[in-house]
């Protein structure tokens, strides 16, 4: 489409340029005719000459701005300029200066070696025609931009439908075996089997139930309830702590009084996803700090790690679907995180700070 637009633009420029040159030549001839008529009118004998034709030639110039000056550059007369502004001599002098830059003067030779000079500039029609191909090219490019935006939006919508369908199907497929496992856990409890084993299976079953709930919420408008932020964060970290090295330290600085409208299951998923990326960044040894502060009508949640950092060129692409630096993985974690924060919770998520070998701070900004 871009090549097509460029082709139209170049062809239009070429054609218009030729047309402008032809019209410019025609206008020059008209000014020369006007100059000749002016000369004959000045030198004619008023008593016996028929001046009507020459007057008609002069009056017929209704489009080309011209200024007639004497050899001392004093303005004698003008035509097709703003008559009200022409009352200001500075306006006429400015117009004369413009005309001198545009075209060479047409000389009117008078008696006794006297000379007058006619300066002119392109008519309004010719000026508009000069800019026409650029306007045309701009409109074509704007059309292509709108078409590209519409195409991209349509494609994203189609991709979203695929992911939503996949999420719903995943939730549906997980639902049946999860319900079955929950029933088996209850049977094991009734038969008083190994308590520690039963509790571990129960935890994993509840985890599966939570994951099923998360996937089923994707695509439908989640219910937001007033939730204690500190509780959500601590619960998310509690799950992660049991599955990472003891060399990974977690620090939480969130006031207990921070209450936000959240979807518990989805926002816990957000914290987990960001922390999992932070754990990968610190490569099994380091610290992850989560803080929350109230700033005017917003709550800023900062998740900071002491990892290897994110290169500047990747800080915006990390949220795109399919982006991953791992040999395994779909690259959907941060993409889903961004969707949950921005679409479902009306907030913002971005890289606040990142420096190689010093760490990264991800910020989630939510309305109170």
Contact (Cβ atoms closer than 8 angstroms) between residue 301 and residue 366? yes
Contact (Cβ atoms closer than 8 angstroms) between residue 118 and residue 71? no
Task: Tell me what pLDDT residue 61 has.
Answer: 67
CB atoms within 10 A of CB 5: 19
pLDDT over threshold 90, residue 304: yes
Mean of pLDDT values over 87-96: 87
Beta pairing partners, 362: 303, 351
Task: Tell me what pLDDT residue 47 has.
Answer: 53
Please state, in angstroms and rounded to a whole number, the distance separating the CA atoms of residues 337 and 213: 15
The enclosing H or E element of 288 equals strand 286-295
pLDDT over threshold 90, residue 283: no
Task: Tell me what pLDDT residue 292 has.
Answer: 95
pLDDT over threshold 70, residue 50: no
pLDDT over threshold 60, residue 52: no
Task: Tell me what pLDDT residue 72 has.
Answer: 85
CB atoms within 10 A of CB 129: 17
277: Cβ contacts below 8 Å, ≥ 6 apart: 333, 334
Contact (Cβ atoms closer than 8 angstroms) between residue 302 and residue 290? yes
Give the three-class secondary structure for 363. Answer: strand
Mean of pLDDT values over 349-358: 91
Mean of pLDDT values over 239-252: 88
Residue ranges and CATH numbers for the domains of the chain are: 2-122 (3.30.450), 223-367 (3.30.565.10)
Give residue-wise pLDDT tens across range 111-150. 777 888 888 888 777 777 777 777 777 888 888 888 888 8
Please state, in angstroms and rounded to a whole number, the distance separating the CA atoms of residues 200 and 31: 99
pLDDT over threshold 90, residue 73: no
Nearest residue to 158 (alpha-carbon basis) of 281, 342, 321 = 321
Please state, in angstroms and rounded to a whole number, the distance separating the CA atoms of residues 121 and 135: 22
Nearest residue to 266 (alpha-carbon basis) of 213, 331, 318 = 213
Contact (Cβ atoms closer than 8 angstroms) between residue 98 and residue 90? no
> b/e per residue, 24-34, with b = 16+ CB within 10 A?
beebbebbeeb
Largest CA distance in the chain: 135
Helices assigned H by DSSP within the chain: 2-43, 52-60, 89-102, 124-190, 195-217, 229-241, 264-282, 333-339
């Amino acid at each position: 489409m871009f090549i097509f637009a460029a082709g139209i633009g170049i062809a239009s420029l070429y054609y218009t340029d030729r047309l402008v040159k032809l019209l410019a030549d025609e206008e020059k001839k008209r000014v020369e005719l006007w100059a000749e008529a002016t000369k004959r009118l000045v030198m004619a004998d008023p008593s016996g000459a028929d001046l009507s034709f020459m007057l008609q030639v002069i009056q017929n110039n209704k489009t080309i701005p011209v200024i007639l000056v004497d050899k001392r550059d004093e303005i004698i007369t003008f035509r097709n300029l703003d008559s009200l502004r022409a009352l200001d001599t500075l306006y006429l002098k400015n117009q004369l200066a413009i005309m001198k830059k545009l075209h060479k003067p047409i000389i009117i030779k008078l008696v006794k070696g006297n000379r007058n000079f006619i300066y002119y500039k392109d008519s309004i029609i010719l000026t508009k025609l000069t800019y026409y191909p650029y306007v045309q090219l701009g409109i074509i490019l704007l059309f292509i931009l709108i078409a590209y935006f519409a195409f991209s939006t349509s494609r994203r919508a189609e991709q979203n439908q695929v992911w939503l369908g996949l999420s719903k199907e995943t939730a549906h497929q997980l639902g049946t075996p999860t319900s079955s496992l929950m029933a088996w856990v209850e049977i094991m409890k009734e038969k008083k089997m190994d308590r520690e084993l039963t509790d571990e299976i129960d935890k994993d079953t509840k985890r599966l139930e939570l994951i099923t709930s998360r996937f089923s919420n994707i695509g439908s408008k989640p219910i937001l309830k007033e939730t204690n932020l500190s509780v959500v964060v601590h619960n998310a970290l509690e799950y992660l702590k049991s599955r990472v090295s003891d060399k990974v330290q977690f620090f939480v600085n969130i006031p207990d009084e921070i209450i936000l409208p959240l979807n518990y299951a989805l926002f816990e998923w957000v914290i987990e996803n960001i922390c999992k990326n932070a754990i990968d960044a610190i490569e099994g040894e380091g610290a992850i700090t989560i803080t929350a502060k109230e700033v005017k009508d917003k709550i800023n949640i900062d998740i900071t790690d002491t990892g290897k950092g994110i290169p500047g060129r990747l800080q915006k692409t990390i949220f795109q679907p399919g982006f991953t630096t791992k040999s395994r993985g779909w690259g959907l974690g941060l993409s889903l995180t961004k969707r949950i924060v921005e679409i479902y919770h009306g907030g913002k998520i971005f890289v606040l700070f990142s420096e190689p070998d010093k760490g990264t701070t991800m910020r989630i900004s939510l309305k109170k």
